[in-house]
Amino acid sequence: MVPKIEVSVCVADVWTFCILAAINAWGSNFEGNAADVLLATISSYLNGQRVVYARHTCIVNSSGTGKSRMVDELSRKVITVPMCLREAGTKGSTSVALFLAYL
């Protein structure tokens, strides 16, 4: 059964809840081994004896699944430069054009 949402709940309240949840997530301990698996995967790509098509990767999953938190956790072990590039006009704050203009 789908819970009913009260009509009095406004969009601002929902956004505030989501933002606070994201901020508070960084205050708790990281759960699982996803950051270690990511480091092992990247390390295997850097092995000169391994034939790979390209030495880059994308991290794709649904919103709120911990992609940014995993990369943040990885940055505690190795120097990390996270980037989130989006096509101009799509949702999000960083566009490919902005990144290329910076270069």
For the chain, the structural domain boundaries read 31-102
Among 73, 69, 40, residue whose Cα is nearest residue 57 = 40
Nearest to 92 by CA among 69, 56, 50, 63: 63
Q: Chunked in runs of 10, what are the mean pLDDT values of the chain (103 residues)?
A: 52 69 78 92 82 78 84 89 71 62 65
Amino acid 54: pLDDT: 75
pLDDT the model gives residue 34:
92
**pLDDT value at residue 94:** 58
- Helix 34-45 vs helix 67-74: crossing angle, to nearest 10: 70
Question: In 1-103, which ranges are continuous DSSP H helix?
Answer: 11-25, 34-45, 67-74, 96-102
What is residue 99's predicted lDDT score, i.e. its pLDDT? 61
Q: How far is CA 103 from the centre of its chain?
A: 22
How high is the pLDDT of residue 21? 73
For the whole model, what pTM was predicted?
0.61
pLDDT at 35: 92
